[in-house]
Amino acid sequence: MQTLITRAGLRPRCAGFTLLELLVVIMIIALLTSVIGPRLFGQVGNARIRTAQAQMKTLEDALGQYRLDCGAYPDAAQGLAALNQQPAGVNGWNGPYLSGPIPLDSWGHAYLWQNPGQASEVEIVSFGSDAKPGGSGEAADLVRGF
């Protein structure tokens, strides 16, 4: 039986990784995750805000069609439900104006319909992630007036 001899005169070591090599790789992965992870998760909040703004635009378009058919926006008592069900005493309703149910905002809360609005004729409002007036960042109020 012949034994292989390396330059150092020792037998070659078995293929594989040492514990130290594995720990170094795990440490590098953990470091990359701690740097990159927060940046990726920070974009989730921005995506929710953009989604809510897009939904509010869709509701605005449907309310515009409602106004053309009925002559006025739904009042505060009728709310956004008037887009899917004809309110009593409203003539010219030609809905439903949405293809599905009235969406919830990106945080799972109902949109607020204000007629009259505070700064515009009418407004659609989302109170953000905290569902309370005011706030900043992802908890800031989103108001679409028209």
CATH number at residue 63: 3.30.700.10
Q: What is the pLDDT of residue 39?
A: 76
Q: How many domains is the chain built from?
A: 1
| Residue 4 maps to a domain | no
Residue 5: its pLDDT value, please?
A: 57
Ranges in the chain, pLDDT < 70? 1-14, 42
Task: Count CB neighbours of 82 within 10 A.
Answer: 24
Q: Please count the helices (runs of H) and the strands (runs of E) in the chain.
A: 1, 3
Please state, as a whole number, how many other Cβ atoms lie within 10 Å of the Cβ of residue 53.
15
Kindly state the helix (H) or strand (E) to which residue 127 belongs, with its residue range. none
Residue 8 located in a structural domain: no
pLDDT number for residue 16: 80
Residue 59's nearest CA partner among 130, 108, 111 is: 111
Note whether residue 117 is domain-resident: yes
> Per the domain annotation, does 14 fall within a domain?
no
pLDDT at 85 (0 to 100): 95
- In this structure, how many other beta carbons lie within 10 angstroms of the beta carbon of residue 39? 8
Is residue 13 assigned to a domain? no
Residue 120 lies in a domain: yes
Host domain of residue 37: 20-145
Residue 10 confidence (pLDDT): 59
